[in-house]
Amino acid sequence: MKEISVAKMTSGPQIFSFRDKIYYYGAYHVLTFTEQERGKELLVTVVNTTKPVCWIELWPAAYDGHDWVRWTTERGQEALVRTDARPQINPSLRWNIQPGTYTLYFVNSSPTQQFADESLTYQVEIV
């Protein structure tokens, strides 16, 4: 499976962190893996230009990007995988697949609630 997608960075959850005193925002993508995909590798790559866009997180379960209550109360504190804690140029994420449903979150941050509505182009591949 190889899929290229485009999303707006303001299409997903927009969350204020009182601890960090910063806004997090981004795009999300829900994935479901079967038993036949167990042990294969998920490769997610942002394929934008040279502007630092985001980092990538992988969370267990499916989260609707507009349900900020579930994002902040049910999701837990630690992602399964996280590429970094600050914006990067074209980050990529690798993860050994376990069956189930997961949510990719392409995250960016801003000190204000005014977010750039840049587009994000990314590739999801199972290898």
Residues 31-57: tens digit of each pLDDT: 999 999 999 999 999 987 656 678 899
Comparing 13-17, 25-29, 58-62, 92-96, which segment has the lowest mean pLDDT? Answer: 13-17
Distance CA 57, CA 16 (A): 17
C-beta atoms surrounding 113 within 10 Å: 9
Cα–Cα distance for residue pair 57/78, rounded to 1 Å: 9
Statement: residue 26 has pLDDT above 70: yes
Specify which of 70-74, 77-81, 117-121 reaches the highest per-range mean pLDDT.
117-121
What CA–CA distance (Å, rounded) separates 92 from 123? 9
Asked if pLDDT for residue 104 goes beyond 90, the answer is yes
Phi, psi of 120 (to 5 degrees): -120, 125
- Mean pLDDT confidence for 74-93: 80
**What pLDDT is recorded for position 82?**
83
